[in-house]
A and B are shown apart, each in its own frame.
Chain A
Amino acid sequence: MKKFIKNCVLFFLLLLIVGEFVVRFTHAVSDIPRRTIDDTGIQKYFTNQTGYWKGGDHKWKINELGWPGDLPSSFDKLITIIGDSYIENFMNPNECHQGPLLKKRMSEYNFMEAGRSGVSFIEAMEISKHLDTLQPVQTLIYVNDNDFYESITEIKKMRDITQLNLEKDQIIYGEMKSPGLKKVLYNWKLLYYFYNRYPINFSNENKENEIKETELDKTLKFKNEILELFKFIKNNYETYNKTLIFHPKTNDYFIKLAKEHGFNTIVLDSSKDNKSWTFDYDSHWTCYGHEQVANQVTIGLNEYFKGKGQ
């Protein structure tokens, strides 16, 4: 029995090493860049990191400012692009990012992306405040329904996301969630592989949220909270040079409020396209999807600039 257990343990340990090697060699999981929180409370990435996306087809990189993608060659006539994982866009190669795609279509402007998965609308506004030091001519913020709900603590408190507490009229900056555990998880690729493949859910939090969100979509029962959020933004941020790019199927109520509070808006529409914009296995845009988005954003922006006489 002793020999059996000894050999089982040895086999298991060697298997861990072999597994780690195989996972790394085949890029069975994506490399995850390390995050940090800067002095202003914004969560971004450690600068100058690179890594492979799952499958190893392409690499992602974090630029000198701590955001994914390349920095523009010049900050003149700069348009900044802010958003969540759709803009972070690790799943597509660099040429399929909104920055390079828009640059191809509007060559007279320079584009800079600031994307990070999980960014809420209020957090995007906070990021835009800091990027305003670069004096962009326009800021594009890509949003969907959830970004508004997730901006308000009274609707859904999320520790790792920057939110607005309406009661205190105060921004609550996101904290790093289990940074130590994440460091281990992201460096021990085999463990991360299993974590992805066989996710463990210890709480019912997500299930409850799923139900809540469905109800939210239907009834929009937090109308007042959303209105308060827009009022807060109007009072604390510049909105005149911000364009909100709404994902397809965003609730009209948000679009209406955005217009009323001084934002320029572009509403994306994928309904007329026979080809899907998203991957089969998740809701993020494919390279094709990003191209279609860039096309629609270009049309919207050109009209807006024309109207402004720029």
Chain B
Amino acid sequence: MLFNSIEFFIFLPIVFAIYWLIGNNRIRQQNLLIAIASYVFYGWWDWRFLFLILFSSLVDYTIGLKLESEDKPSKRKALLWVSICVNLGFLGFFKYYNFFVDSLVDSFTFFGSELSINTLNIILPVGISFYTFQTLSYTIDVYNKKLEPTKDFLAFMAFVSFFPQLVAGPIERATNLLPQFHVKREFVYKNAVDGLRQALWGLFKKVVIADNCATYANMIFNNQEDYSGSTLLMGAFFFAFQIYGDFSGYSDIAIGISRLFGFNLKRNFAFPYFSRDIAEFWRRWHISLSTWFRDYLYIPLGGSRGGTKMKVRNTFIIFIVSGFWHGANWTFVVWGALNAIYFLPLLLLNKNRVNTNLVAEGKYLPTMREVFQMATTFFITLIAWIFFRADNVTNAFVYIKDMFTTSLFTTPEILPFTILALVAFFTFIEWLGRSGEYAIEKVDFMKRPVRWCFYFLLVVLIFSFTGEQQEFIYFQF
């Protein structure tokens, strides 16, 4: 079920009404409802893969309990590896099997030998990368004794399959989300209104910004050989806003809807395109994934504590793995590696934590220096997005090569003013609201009639500019 579908607009009020009618004294019943609703939500796409989530939940729940009763370090480690192997095994099979087979066959062909292994016709279960990482975080935290294992399977099921963030995150830590399934959830008017507002903003980002930018990004990327350098730059620009609107829009809707049910999810985006360097960008982009890799991969590998060699190695590992997490294609690996190259100079010069505060904090306008820094960071990010979007690495290089020609200084063949005006409006609102958790969090200073007019404007724009209903990009990851 998509957030931007009619089905969801019917589904959500029904679940919301039943949830609060059950009453917050009946936590188990509420958890049961969440689990059922989440399975319906997911099964709407393909019910067969529900067994995968159920199995994954069962394995990690059981291992969590075993880890608690087991004191022997070797056995505990073995249990942890069982969880890792099962979870990453599913992920590896469904997401990467064909990629590895193809790559193996290609490398044999490169060295002049023939290898015949058939690929399989595998459907990638929606959101598998998200819930796999979420359940893994549980087992690892229990193993590290940062979290008591739950003895309530229903709560655990609801935690793994929680529908607002099941298919595209934010990837919640068990330490944050799971305890919320054990305590009474209160309906707080302010939180519910705030949740609805954030969901509305998320829907605007998805439907108005991302879907409309997608139309032009697809048009340009799919026919890249037909366009001038300036149009190719526009294509990358549209894709940058498509992916940001799409993914951060989903996160906003997920966080907003969760608040309606009395849950607090972690922030996933913090205005990344206003970053002044790439390190800041990565602290603001897909925060739940970046911190997951930081805590469960980068730090266990030694982080930045070792010598230069170790720093370089760990940085490359984390970025490449992060790229590979996005999809079974070399384009994502190159995207990750390119970001590592961007990041390394800052890390090695110890300048990766220079810009930790908010840009132009307390001011309406940034300084020229900040404008330059933001523009540069956005531009290098844009170049990296070309690899992310391209069908293959060769196409990405050709795209960049064709972009940096003299035609870069001509008027683009595709210049949709309405969409550009919408992107400008969106960026303006994001800039104004950059000190909040999300752009329109602090509209409470407006009087109600003005505030509601603003909401009406967003709703009207959502309906007026609804492009073709497109799936969220991150479903495929």
Contact = CB atoms under 8 A, between A and B. Distances in A.
- Tell whether A pairs with B: yes
Interface of A: 1, 3-4, 7-8, 11, 14-15, 18-19, 22, 26, 28, 193, 197-198
A248 to B, nearest CB: 29
Given A1-B189, A26-B464, A197-B466, 15 more contacts: A1-B187, A4-B193, A7-B193, A11-B452, A14-B452, A14-B456, A15-B456, A15-B459, A18-B456, A18-B460, A19-B459, A28-B464, A193-B463, A197-B463, A198-B6
Q: Taking chain B's interface residues, is the majority helix, strand, or loop, or is none over half, making it mixed?
A: helix
A4 B186 CA distance: 14
A20 to B, nearest CB: 11
Nearest to A3: B189
A221 to B, nearest CB: 36
Contacts of B455: 11
Contacts of A4: 187, 189, 192-193
Contacts of B20: 1
Interface string B440-477: 00000000000010011001100110100000000000
Contacts of B459: 15, 19
Interface residues of B, number: 15
A1 B463 CA distance: 28
A4 B455 CA distance: 16
Contacts of B6: 198
Nearest to B193: A4
A218 B356 CA distance: 69
Interface of B: 6, 20, 187, 189, 192-193, 196, 452, 455-456, 459-460, 463-464, 466
Contacts of B193: 4, 7
A79 B187 CA distance: 72
Contacts of A14: 452, 456
A76 B146 CA distance: 95
A28 B466 CA distance: 13
A26 B463 CA distance: 13
Nearest to A17: B456
Nearest to B448: A7
A58 to B, nearest CB: 21
Contacts of B463: 19, 193, 197
Contacts of B187: 1, 4
B251 to A, nearest CB: 23
Given A11-B452, A197-B466, A22 B460 contact: yes
A18 B459 CA distance: 10
A280 to B, nearest CB: 14
B371 to A, nearest CB: 36
Contacts of A28: 464
A4 B460 CA distance: 22
Interface centre among A3, A4, A197, A198 (most CB of B within 10 A): A4
A193 B189 CA distance: 32
Top 6 nearest A-B pairs (CB, nearest first) are A18-B456, A22-B460, A4-B192, A1-B187, A4-B189, A3-B189
12 contacts: A1-B20, A1-B189, A3-B189, A4-B187, A4-B192, A4-B193, A11-B452, A15-B456, A15-B459, A18-B456, A18-B460, A22-B460
Nearest to B196: A8
Contacts of A11: 452, 455
A56 to B, nearest CB: 14
Nearest to B457: A18
Contacts of B196: 8
A24 to B, nearest CB: 13
Contacts of B189: 1, 3-4
A28 B189 CA distance: 35
Nearest to B20: A1
